[in-house]
Structure 1
């Protein structure tokens, strides 16, 4: 099925209930014509933002045109240094040390299905006819630096995903200080920005803020998407309710530091950018190197917040969730943590499992404390040899007895962290993320392991894999108990 149409450098991306329209203008910039209710290609001229007079203090893109100013144009990508003073999607230090960049259209491609990134998770389509992908090829005006803007239409779930790839063709390195996954400029419809904020044990509390002139930011700098600020952000008209009114949803398929900003601009447009948090970010791209951004997820609903929620739910179930449990109800589980904490025995676990089975529980999960000298949270993390004092016969014997009751068996891990009081840390203190000349900071008495080191990755895969292969384990609880600090590595 054709979800993407093009004519005279106008591109129309249609889902079941929404249209996303772009055009390449006379200067080679990508203009955003529309994102909202269904429209036709023939509507392009009517939807285009009309420029009839210059504004005072604006910077003209070219001396030959006294009206065309990038600061006034609804764009789908932009740069720095050519008159667009709104929040930029990219900050690049060029080979000559300058920051000015100006990416212009060269060509396009349309693919059936998805075009997955090589190094990052992306949405997928089980069948090619479920999705269609547009790639816009842009080139920096002066330098041999190429940008690919990638849009995938998931028609039936009313979602469009976006990501970007930048390639350095110059002989000198390109330094990337900021590289967003997406940018979109929208006309302001009395928007409010909805975020989901919180902290430990009080996550995802809804916050509504009416957009006022300036920039509103939703971000995490903890090293994870975090319990503080969920990467999901909504824009909705002031009168939008659960079932009526317009709503836009933005999210990222990314679990690291994220950044989404909504800027209410001086002339009534709202710019939204989303991607990797630029705080402390720096990436050196050598000649021939390609940098990929995470995939951003966009959806539009004219049926209020419920309509937008349905879009996200349908998309995640169809194009993110995969494997054996896709489309199935998950088993009811019991976790032993609140019953025992670290103080358990094989006997107490089996007693809990039998009682849980009587109550209709289907999955038993053994939490923290089953390995090494793990009798509290100050020791043992990183050592994945089973504590045979607590579990005579090991994980295999326990799992066998629990599965014989008709329960599935699950196990707790936190493989990205380590205690200083552990065999792993005593043997390899260099495996931890820490600055060599500073006293380090702990969270839950833990340090974070440096996953940029191949030997660290090998250690985790080998030792966690050995445990998983040793027993009938149906479920893994992968815990995360501290944020990153003391960021430093000589391996990247």
Structure 2
């Protein structure tokens, strides 16, 4: 059994980990253990002592050794004597901030719980022994019932957590902070790993000591943001890619969030994650309930690489949905960097015509096809086709593209409105704006109030009308600004603290309708690139535009950081023109293609402008990607180097993909800096079978798996700065003492 409950001791087992908690004699739910799989009670780990300035619950009587300020808790609250970061802050009707949650029962259910209106990990066909544990905690004074939800996926070494709160009392309660998960570790010296950045340079890796005090990151922008990602890791000091204990938390949510790691006065470490408390204030009337989003929790003792692969598997198989979950997505060309707003139907057709000849399978028409939209200062919200600009209807253009044997896709930004638009002139109150205050502009656009159902319904009607009348197989859903003016004209003053979360719920409602009613449409998420790259969006959009920065060398770092928490199958990546439009760098076509292959693979340029040799190479790359896709997107991913920590004699970024049966591998390497009279670059491979022989498809050279992982492989052809190589290894079969290359299915 994945979940065992005995005498108020709850043990959650995955194949390689154990999570344990206990409701003690006073009714407090204490966290005991999370780590390598183990049997028996871990209650012996608790320590009780008379701690100065650490108060005692009244129920403890004269026992001054019992303090919630020192004991590890499963769901800590503000107001019960624990002065560390809380998971829950509740304000009572009289203004007091005080909660006292006591154990009130449990249920074990087969299968995985669901969260109404929210994305969540689901049970897939291949999953076995998935179970749900529900633990009830109740504040007898206020009547607040808190139900902690745990979904256990044994084979994937994942435990999901979420929280439901129900006001069963008689007074109004206000939720001021609701974290979805909190984890107390009573031992260990940890590093805090998080992923920071900015627009066009997302998910840089920062690893710092989890020293005394609280280390807090998050987003106040209404989205998960470019600046911080809602995926974090707590790793023991000695943990590397391949060895050591580490814990991850991934938030299945696309709005503002908070994540923290706090080392307390007794060297215990608390890790937590949930909705950002800033701008959040949720009034809960008697009888009302609130459900907090889900956190995906995972542990391994085998290093950061294995932790990443555990997240890759759960996101790929149990979060992403739809017809494109497992199948190869079309190789596409997007016209944005080729034309920007300066296009017409004929120009788009000519781009598509050349692309089709080279094996590209889809044309995506980007911004500028609708309303009055020849620049980014007008037209958003008016989702009517600009037939004068296109020289015909959108259906005409779609038909021309399809006549080439290609699919047709469209860029949209449904959450936004321009002040210079028919929609804004008709409904200025539909934009988020503080009364009497000039709004904060960003990219000349305002944010539509998706917390209001009538606004979501109207925009959905506009987009669904297009999908009902025009053959469209792909939507690029963009969102190009942060939310600054948080005020809804559709909510009462006392309800304004709900707006940001209700906005996200409105977004999810829109996307769920698209998913349900147009299952043939592939949706790619985007927010100025990677500004909303999170597990919540992957529930609706199985791939996300990784960054607006398409430079291959910058993408080495961006995609490296992304790989810690997200699978290659989720990464939108394209080959773009050089000099690059973001930073002016010139890189070889081969390198740009190799970086794009570590993602969805596509193009962001006008192929008509390339040389005949480049076109020939692109035709080859397209065919190769189609053949390599199963290995790249479904294989295990290994980071072979850290591009953020390069030394002068080790400036090669490398990564690899290994098939599940370990019979096939694909190695990529990029030379980030070149020097005169250089040392020979080498890299040690991972994930192979030591007792097998592997043959390079490129050179025919045969290697032992043990040698490749111990001594590494020589990258002697890697000499040009920004140059790259790809090595395709396949297992050699032994027959009558002779080696031959294995058949790869």
1:188 to partner: Cα distance: 4.1
Could you tell me how far 1:58 is from its partner in structure 2?
Answer: 1.8
Q: Is the 8 A contact 2:2 2:129 kept in 1?
A: no
- Whether 1:229 and 2:228 are equivalent positions in the alignment is yes
Pair 1:60-2:62 in alignment = no
Q: Give the corresponding residue for 2:215.
A: 216
Structure 2 residue aligned with 1:74 = 72
User: 1:20: which partner in 2?
Assistant: 19
User: Aligned to 2:465, what secondary structure does the other structure show?
Assistant: helix
Q: Deviations over 1:277-309 (max 9, x none)?
A: 001210111111001101011100111011000
Q: Equivalents in 1 of 2:47, 2:448: separation in Å?
A: 54
Out of 101, 105, 117, the residue aligned to residue 107 of structure 1 is 105
Distance 2:329 2:188 in 1: 40
Give deviations 1:171-213, integer Å, cap 9, x for gaps. 2211111111011101342211011110010001001111111
1:464 aligns with 2:463: yes
Task: Name the structure 1 match of 2:197.
Answer: 198
Q: Which residue of 2 aligns with 1:258?
A: 257
Q: Indicate the residue corresponding to 1:356 in structure 2.
A: 355
Aligned-pair CA distance for 1:8 = 1.2
CA contact (8 A) 1:10 1:44 kept: no
User: In proportion to residue count, which structure has more helix?
Assistant: 2
The equivalent residue for 1:306 is 305
Mapped to 1, the partners of 2:146 and 2:423 lie a distance apart of: 43
| Greater Rg by CA | 2
What is the CA–CA distance in structure 2 between the aligned matches of 1:176 and 1:298, rounded to whole Å? 24
- Corresponding residue of 2:371: 372
The normalised TM-score by structure 1 is: 0.97
2:47 matches 1:50 = yes
Distance 2:187 2:342 in 1: 57
Cα deviation 1:146-176 (Å, max 9, x = unaligned): 0100000112211111011111112221111
Is this contact kept in 1: 2:345–2:392, CA < 8 A?
A: no
Q: For 2:92 and 2:247, how far apart are their aligned partners in 1?
A: 34
TM-score (norm 2): 0.64
The answer as to whether partners of 1:362 and 1:406 remain within 8 angstroms in 2 is yes
The question of whether the paired residues in 2 share the 8 Å contact of 1:119 and 1:292 is answered with no
Cα shift at 1:404 = 2.1
CA contact (8 A) 1:113 1:129 kept: no
- Is 1:147 the counterpart of 2:143 in the alignment? no
Aligned-pair distance for 1:112? 0.9
What displacement does 1:45 show?
3.5
Superposed displacement of residue 480, structure 1: 1.2
Q: Check whether the contact 1:3–1:15 (CA below 8 A) recurs between aligned residues.
A: yes
Question: How many aligned residue pairs are there?
Answer: 488
3-state DSSP of counterpart to 2:350: helix
How far, CA to CA, are the matches of 1:146 and 1:45 in structure 2? 26
Distance 1:23 1:134 in 2: 13
SS in 1 for 2:201: coil
Secondary structure at the counterpart of residue 409 of structure 2? strand
Match of 1:423 in 2: 422
Instruction: Identify the residue that residue 84 of structure 1 maps to in structure 2.
Output: 82
* 1:479 corresponding residue in structure 2: 478
Q: Which residue of 1 aligns with 2:92?
A: 94
Given the alignment, which residue of 112, 126, 146 partners 2:124? 126
Determine helix, strand or coil for the equivalent of 1:441.
coil
How far apart, CA to CA, are the structure 2 residues paired with 1:436 and 1:56?
Answer: 50
SS in 1 for 2:22: strand
Name the SS for the 2:308 alignment partner.
Answer: helix
Matching residue of 1:280: 279
Residue 81 of structure 1: how far off its partner (Å): 2.0
Listed as ranges, the matches of 1:282-297 within 5 Å are 282-297=281-296
* Shift, 1:130, TM fit: 5.1
Cα distance in 1, alignment partners of residues 349 and 461 from structure 2: 28
Deviations 1:378-403 (CA, angstroms, capped at 9, x unpaired): 11111011000122331111112212
Q: State the alpha-carbon separation in 2 of the partners of residues 453 and 251 from structure 1.
A: 28
Q: Which region of structure 1 is more displaced relative to structure 2, 357-366 or 436-445?
A: 357-366
Q: Indicate the residue corresponding to 1:414 in structure 2.
A: 413
Contact kept, 8 Å, 1:395 with 1:470, in 2: the verdict is no
Q: Find the counterpart in structure 1 of residue 266 from structure 2.
A: 267
- Contact 1:21/1:32 (CA < 8 Å) preserved in 2? yes
Other structure's SS at 1:203 match: strand
Q: Which has the higher contact order (CA 8 A, sep 6+)?
A: 1
When structure 1 is superposed on structure 2, of 171-180 and 124-133 the one drifting more is 124-133
Shift of 1:457: 1.1
Give, in angstroms, the shift of residue 111 of structure 1.
0.9
| CA shift digits 1:326-359 (9 cap, x unpaired) | 1122222111000011110111101101111222
The answer on whether the counterparts of 2:142 and 2:170 sit within 8 Å (CA) in structure 1 is: no
Q: Runs ≥4 in structure 1, deviation > 2 angstroms?
A: 43-46, 126-130
1-structure distance, mates of 2:2, 2:183: 20
Deviation at 1:120, TM superposition (A): 1.3
Shift of 1:267: 0.4
CA deviation map 1:205-251 (0-9, x unaligned): 00111111100011000000001000100011111111111111111
User: How far apart, CA to CA, are the structure 1 residues paired with 2:74 and 2:362?
Assistant: 47
Distance, in Å, in 2 between the alignment partners of 1:136 and 1:95 is 26
Q: Deviations over 1:418-438 (max 9, x none)?
A: 000001011111111111211
User: In structure 2, what is the Cα distance between the partners aligned to 1:430 and 1:356?
Assistant: 44
Q: 2 CA distance for matches of 1:335 and 1:360?
A: 14
1:331 corresponds to? 330
Judging changes above 3 Å, is the alpha-carbon distance between structure 1 residues 45 and 188 closer, same or farther for their aligned structure 2 residues? closer
Q: Which runs of 5+ in 1 are unaligned?
A: none
What is the CA–CA distance in structure 1 between the aligned matches of 2:490 and 2:465, rounded to whole Å?
A: 26
